[in-house]
Every structure is written in C-alpha cells, then in structure tokens.
Amino acid sequence: MLLYSTLVSAYFGILVRRDRRDQFRLAALIWSAMVGGTLILSFLMYPFPG
C-alpha cells in the first residue's frame, strides 16, 4: 500500500503541477489521503466480522 501510494502520488504530483515544490506538496497530500484514508476505513471496518 505504501509503495503503491508513493508511485501514484508521485505520478499525479508531477503530472498536475509544474513547480518542484508544488509537485512535492501535491504528492504528499495525495499520499496522505491514500494511506490515511485506507487506515481510517480499515479502522471503521474493524468491528464488523469478516
């Protein structure tokens, strides 16, 4: 998940932004959303039986 998020966020950061600093910031935002969102969702699903 971490590796996948890193690749995808780097791709979109570079694709959407031109300035190096903006690219990094967008990539960090996307990465945080992907990893954080997954962790939050998995935590919310924890009480439900598999």
Q: Which residues bind another protein (CB under 8 A)?
A: 3-4, 7-8, 10-11, 14-15, 18
Nearer to another protein, 4 or 25 (CB): 4
| Strand, coil or helix: 42 | helix
Minimum distance from residue 16 beta carbon to another protein (Å): 10
Structural contact between residues 50 and 42, judged by C-beta atoms closer than 8 angstroms: no
Cα(9)–Cα(17) distance, integer angstroms: 12
Nearer to another protein, 7 or 28 (CB): 7
Nearer to another protein, 24 or 47 (CB): 24
- For residue 5, the Cα-to-chain-centroid distance in whole angstroms is 5
